Amino acid sequence: MAADSVLTPQEIERAALVRAAAELIGYRALAEKLDIGERTIYALAAGKRRCRESLLADVRTELIAHRQRVGALVRIIADHLGTEA
């Protein structure tokens, strides 16, 4: 994208979703899971590259999987500590 181009609200929302996923999962880990370069993740998160709908669907899938993994870990830790999650 050109430096002077203006992002649409949808592009801003997509970049924010990629950024949130990368912050939660990790930029390198997300890049590996999506089989793309880490620099591409940084560019997508910064809104410097447009995010295809198919890639956005993959990001959402990874966020859901991450949420499930974290939830499972919280339950394991809570069980170990004898408290409710």
Q: Which residue has the higher pLDDT, 13 or 85?
A: 13
- Two tokens, residue 4: 């002077």
- pTM of the entire structure? 0.78
pLDDT of 72 > 90? The answer is yes
Q: In the structure, what pLDDT confidence band is assigned to residue 1 with cuts at 50, 70 and 90?
A: low
Domains of the chain: 9-81 (1.10.260)
Residue type, 13: E
pLDDT of 80 > 60? The answer is yes
* Helices 27-34 and 38-45, packing angle to 10 deg: 110
User: CB under 8 Å to 41, separation ≥6 — which residues?
Assistant: 18, 22, 27, 30, 31, 34
pLDDT, tens digit (0-9, with 9 covering 90-100), for 21-62 = 999 999 999 999 999 999 999 999 999 998 899 999 999 999
